Amino acid sequence: MAFEFTDANFETEAKGVTLVDFWAEWCGPCHIIAPHIEALSQEYAGKAKIGKLDVDNNPTVAQKYGIRSIPTVIILKDGEIFDKHVGVASKAQLAQKIEAALA
């Protein structure tokens, strides 16, 4: 299961290569990519942290990264933004971004 990031745990949990899916319950496109995020969290277990952050319940982190549209997926590498994708993305597109960050 994808990790659940919050404003409280983000700084301590977002280490190394991390994919964060910024989403909200009411967002239709967010539900489209949710299965991709879940699958990637299993495929990259032990290599990268894959998780989700509900922007309605965790506005501080969303504001810090300037999230204005959801879904937005960011890839962090050692705390810095490595890649960012706004809108729906395929599992293959997201996997390619993770692989690039791990390289």
Q: Residue type at 71?
A: P
Give the pLDDT score at 61: 96
- Confirm whether 12 is a catalytic residue: no
62 as an active site residue: the answer is no
Model confidence at 63, pLDDT cuts 50, 70, 90, reads: very high
- pLDDT at position 1 is 84
- Give the global pTM: 0.95
**Dihedrals phi, psi of 77, to nearest 5 degrees:** -130, 115
pLDDT in tens, 13-58: 999 999 999 999 999 999 999 999 999 999 999 999 999 999 999 9
Selecting among 2, 14, 19, 27, the annotated active-site residue is 27
Separation of alpha carbons 59 and 90, rounded Å: 26
Q: Which CATH superfamily does the domain covering 3-102 fall into?
A: Glutaredoxin (3.40.30.10)
